[in-house]
Amino acid sequence: AVAFQYLPHQIGDADLAALEALADGYDSDVLVAPNPGLDAPIVATAWTRRMELETADPVLLEAFASAFRGRGPESVDCPT
């Protein structure tokens, strides 16, 4: 699965809405979650991969999800 994690209170409503819209575009294996322990406002993660962003860049996030979604060792689907 791919996770779009964000620092609560560090991103704006537009960035959060963009993250959620991107995740909603997939039927599974992409999720959005707050994470107060991040080093950047937005971090996309997948098995052994990480991309830090200051803002929700839809082009970069879509490319990350397309590259890594469904390529981890999970044996079951991860619903959104």
Nearest by Cα to 50 from 35, 37, 61: 61
CB 3 within 8 A of CB 31: yes
| Number of other CB atoms surrounding residue 13 within 10 Å | 7
Alpha-carbon span 59 to 49, nearest angstrom: 17
Q: Residue 11: its pLDDT value, please? A: 96
pLDDT band, very low/low/confident/very high, at 72 (cuts 50, 70, 90): low
Q: Residue 34: its pLDDT value, please? A: 98
Q: Give the lowest-confidence range in 30-39, 59-68, 71-80.
A: 71-80
Q: Residue 75: its pLDDT value, please? A: 60
Alpha-carbon span 54 to 34, nearest angstrom: 15
